A = this chain, B = another copy of it.
Amino acid sequence: MPTDDHKRVETKAQSATAQLTKRATVRAMESILDEHFVVLDHGFVRVIDYMGDDAAIVQAARVSYGAGTRHVREDRALIRYLLRHRHTTPFEMCELKLHIKAPIFVARQWLRHRTASVNEYSARYSKLDREFYVPDVEHLQSVLEEQVGRRRASTSGMDDLFTVNSSVTEPLALAAQSSTNKQGRDDVLTGDEAKQALSAINWISKNAYGIYRSLLNENRRGNTKDPNHVGLARELARAALPVNYYTQFYWKIDLHNLLHFLSLRADDHAQYEIRAYAEVILDKIVANWVPATHQAFRDYTMDAVPLSAGGLSVVKRLVTKRKSVNQENSGLSKREWRELMEVLGLDP
């Protein structure tokens, strides 16, 4: 668990003793305020502040329908209606402020989303801690397995559309295909190989920090190494550090844009490392903060599927059974047909 490293940037903004407020307040959020939800080996997510709740969404929606609306049958039903019909603006009326600690390569994916406010730890002004991400063996094996599976099946993703660099992927495909007895795959998954990979990542990360320290003219205890020298500027010394080093940032976003972020980053196609954060935010924070919205989001976004014009036409024919339908007469491409059958749980 992260202990001291993050303390430095924590301040007294959260009052030690609770205060009285007339603002919308969510008891379940109060109890997790400031808690560190651990993610990966050194990362965390913690809630710094929040504004609004499920009722605030309803309240904003009511403004839009003003005098014509006296009461609402049920807040929950209205929230579901709004989300189902893409009336998204009321969800912008809630705001969340998080403190995130994550590897740089995760932060880079994260901060690609532009509809949030960010204050990130600056490696120009401050020294980075000696903390880097190394995947655990179990996870690495499942990634490798998935990767091999992907090469084999080659069903989804970009691979069909882009002819990928043969020097990189064909050997993998070969390796997979040549192993009738799945030997190739078993080989891949030996703990030894995974351990070797991890130890290599570990080695380079540690060495990089040693060099970083030298460049700053520091010894291991963080003291000056050579008093006759000035170290390199931090903004340049950090050039040596790999992207698995941890950074931290404050991240403030409204609920609508947060849900959009989660729909992309808690999705199966997201890289495991950022998904780990997204899932914590979704299940441990959003679920506590706005439970009705959380459930509606599950039903209408995360667990929903889009049906294209062509897909709808196929489903209609399947349901009425009047005409038999197959890929050839469906109007769908092979890929689209495969995707649709998968969604419907049918045999392609």
- A326 contacts the other chain (Cβ, under 8 Å)? no
- Which B residues are in CB contact (< 8 Å) with A184? 228, 230
For A30, the chain B residues whose CB sits under 8 A away are 20-22
Interface centre among A22, A69, A300 (most CB of B within 10 A): A22
Could you say which interface size class chain A belongs to?
A: 35 or more
User: Is the C-beta of A330 less than 8 angstroms from some C-beta in chain B?
Assistant: no
Set of chain B residues within 8 Å of A222, measured between Cβ atoms: 167-168
Q: Is the CB of A208 within 8 A of B208?
A: yes
Complex contact B8–A66 (CB within 8 A) = yes
Given A167-B222, A230-B175: A315 and B344 within 8 A (CB)? Answer: yes
B308 touches A307 (CB 8 A): no
Q: Is the CB of A15 within 8 A of B19?
A: no
Least CB distance from A176 to B in Å reads 7
B residues less than 8 Å from A112 (CB atoms): 111, 118, 120
Q: Which residues of B contact A167 (CB under 8 A)?
A: 218, 222-224
Interface string of A301-333 (1 = CB under 8 A from B): 011111111111001101101000000000001
Interface centre among A73, A187, A204, A303 (most CB of B within 10 A): A204
Interface status of A137 (Cβ within 8 A of chain B):
no
**Is A197 a contact of B175 with CB atoms below 8 Å?**
no
Q: How far is the CA of A241 from the CA of B211 in the complex (A)?
A: 14
Chain B residues near A306 (CB, 8 Å)? 84, 300, 304-307
Whether A122 contacts B217 in the complex (CB less than 8 A), given A23-B50, A318-B319, comes out as no
Chain B residue at minimum C-beta to C-beta distance from A160 = B73
A198-223 residues at the B interface, CB under 8 angstroms: 200-201, 203-205, 207-208, 211, 214-218, 222-223
Nearest residue (CB) in B for A271 is: B235
Complex CA distance for A73 and B333, rounded to whole angstroms: 14
Shortest CB distance A287–B (Å): 16
Complex Cα gap A115–B309 (Å): 27
Is A153 in the interface zone, CB < 8 Å from B? Answer: no
Q: Which residues of B contact A337 (CB under 8 A)?
A: none
A210, B262: Cα distance in complex, Å? 35
Q: Give the CA-CA distance A266 to B120 in the complex, in Å.
A: 21
- Contact B158–A127 (Cβ < 8 Å): no
Cα-based distance from A170 to B230 in the complex (angstroms): 10
Nearest-neighbour CB distance to chain B for A190, whole angstroms, equals 9
Whether B315 pairs with A69 at a CB distance below 8 angstroms is no
The answer for the CA separation of A12 and B54 in the assembled complex, in Å, is 12
Contact A201 B211 (CB under 8 A): yes
Say whether A242 faces chain B, with CB atoms less than 8 Å apart.
Answer: yes
Q: Which of B236, B312, B319 contacts A143 (CB 8 A)?
A: B236
A222 to B78, CA, bound (A): 27
A103 at the interface (CB under 8 A from B): yes
Query: Taking the complex as formed, is A278 at the interface, i.e. its CB lies under 8 A from any CB of chain B?
Result: no
Contact indicator B12/A23 (Cβ below 8 Å): no
Which B residues are CB-close (under 8 A) to A46? none
Residue contacts A-B, CB under 8 angstroms, 17 given? A9-B66, A18-B22, A19-B25, A51-B95, A63-B249, A64-B122, A66-B127, A70-B165, A72-B161, A92-B252, A93-B119, A111-B112, A144-B230, A151-B230, A171-B224, A201-B215, A318-B319
